[in-house]
Amino acid sequence: MKIVVLDGFAANPGDLSWKEMEALGECVIYERTSPEELLMRAQDADVLMTNKVVINAQAIEQLTCLKYIGVFATGYNVVDIEAARRKGIIVTNIPAYSTDSVAQMAFAHLLNITQQVGHYAQANQQGRWCNQTDFCYWDMPLLELAGKQMGIVGLGNTGMATARIALAFGMKVCAYTSKDSQSLPTGIEKMSLDELFASSDVVSLHCPLNEETYEIVNAERLHTMKPSAILINTGRGQLVNEQDLADALNGHHIYAAGLDVLSQEPPTNDNPLLSARNCFITPHIAWATSEARTRLMKTAVYNLKQFLAGTPVNNVAQ
């Protein structure tokens, strides 16, 4: 059994161990694999492990030994699932490993925007507080979350975890969700998407990316939001039309945005959000806490063990 890890560096840059996976067969681990290198590196692999390396239908057709693809993520859009299904290839993902970490990042962005911790810490390192006449100073709005409305788009694992944090802060919580309103936990109100965007002080995106949600945040929807509203995206970059969001921020149609994802990663230098007013961007790291990556690695090994035992789990190509 030959196992090829195509891009192991992101999930494990060296602080975790590959020993459990290496014990399952001949294991070759590459830190990164370019599209041009894929076929050569994967040609005799029984098992491929990928995070962001795309395995399309053409590659699947040419990889005659391939029996299993393990995705180091919850989302599995990097694999052509239909092509894998046609060839009887098992494709697994890793659900819910980063739920708490992603919800934490959503609030890290929200608290940074409402309290400006980074701004004041940097200013004080440069001596600004030392030169003040008064015992304190502020030059940005400081906002209290209690009593404000958070609208959550998508009430899966991370959406629900984010809702629980919001409720603990004393926020009103509404959600755009396929769940029945009677089944929602106490304190969460179901709303239409348009009503949610128009009435919320904070909108946090936690829905999957598909044809219906592609650029769900666009100029029309942004213009219905409050001028004081904050947008948080820890989901997928393509949920947002980036030019429309930059225009809304620069035009003061909304107050701020906290983003952990962009439509292209890494972004090009001309991405309009990189220079937009009150736009705070982290480099897709909500999932990357040590605890979440440890769970990811353990589940990846478990998925593969179950496949080898003939009882596959987390198979998204059924």
Catalytic residues, by residue number, are: 236, 265, 284
User: How wide is the angle at C-alpha 207 spanned by C-alphas 232 and 94, nearest 5°?
Assistant: 110
Q: Are 205 and 180 in contact (CB under 8 A)?
A: no
Sequence-separated (6 or more) residues with CB below 8 Å from residue 80: 55, 56, 57, 60
The token pair at 5 is: 């890890």
d(CA 311, CA 195): 45
Taking a C-beta distance cutoff of 8 angstroms, is the pair 128, 157 a contact? no
Instruction: Read off the DSSP letter of residue 166.
Output: H
| One-letter identity of residue 200 | S
